[in-house]
Chains A and B, each alone.
Chain A
Amino acid sequence: GDSVTQMEGPVTLSEEAFLTINCTYTATGYPSLFWYVQYPGEGLQLLLKATKADDKGSNKGFEATYRKETTSFHLEKGSVQVSDSAVYFCALKTTSGTYKYIFGTGTRLKVLA
């Protein structure tokens, strides 16, 4: 079945460091891909999305490119801030039958000042 695999956390970085959180997926067809962010005590918020191969989603300095050939959607940011500390979830929306969202296990990011 469809699945999402993302890197284990926690990831601890210093402020202004470069961030990469890896995400790969297994799916039939061409799913839409998402990154969600969860701040402490809150629900998930959409960070960015891509709906077809080679699309680049971007928001708040974060970017991710839909790579069909490597079935990946890695999240990157050139310079993280303390306020980026949160849990990040990679997700896909299935394309077959009744549409469902499948989430990865989440990666906790901690940014130190």
Chain B
Amino acid sequence: NAGVTQTPKFQVLKTGQSMTLQCAQDMNHEYMSWYRQDPGMGLRLIHYSVGAGITDQGEVPNGYNVSRSTTEDFPLRLLSAAPSQTSVYFCASSYSFGTSPTEAFFGQGTRLTVV
């Protein structure tokens, strides 16, 4: 059981470039989300999705775009990379119990450096 898979694990971008961070889960989870992890700031929510075709903004959405065309995949797009987006990015998924998602399952992370 692969769980939550993120690719790539490492990436270096030049300022202004765009790229997509991939996230896939094989647990048929309805809820998926993207976080960034920065020193001293914990994890901050970027975007999340409660199901295919439904996405919403989190705490720090600017400069990022998402879509959810299937249950399994939730890619994160950086539209025009900036040094402030240097961070470690985590994708997470949760299954629902009734109307509430349960604990989150995390991918291994993508370490992104923007120069």
Contact = CB atoms under 8 A, between A and B. Distances in A.
A101 B107 contact: no
B90 interface: yes
B100 A100 contact: no
9 contacts: A45-B106, A89-B42, A98-B56, A100-B58, A101-B33, A101-B43, A102-B45, A103-B42, A103-B44
Contacts of A41: 108
B48 interface: yes
Interface centre among B33, B43, B107, B109 (most CB of A within 10 A): B43
B53 interface: no
B61 interface: no
A34 B42 CA distance: 14
Given A43-B106, A44-B106, A98-B50, A93 B100 contact: yes
B12 to A, nearest CB: 17
A104 B42 contact: yes
A42 B108 contact: yes
Contact of A105 (B33, B40, B90): B40
Contact of A46 (B42, B48, B103): B103
Interface of A: 4, 32, 34, 36, 41-46, 49, 89, 93, 95, 98-106
Interface string B45-67: 10010100000101000000000
Interface of B: 4, 31, 33, 35, 40-45, 48, 50, 56, 58, 90, 92, 100-101, 103-109
A100 B103 contact: no
A25 B107 CA distance: 25
Query: Interface majority SS on B: helix, strand, loop or mixed?
Result: strand
A34 B104 CA distance: 10
Given A42-B108, A42-B109, 8 more contacts: A4-B42, A36-B106, A43-B108, A93-B100, A100-B48, A102-B45, A103-B43, A105-B41
A99 B42 contact: no
B73 to A, nearest CB: 18
A103 B104 CA distance: 12
B107 to A, nearest CB: 5
A25 B108 CA distance: 27
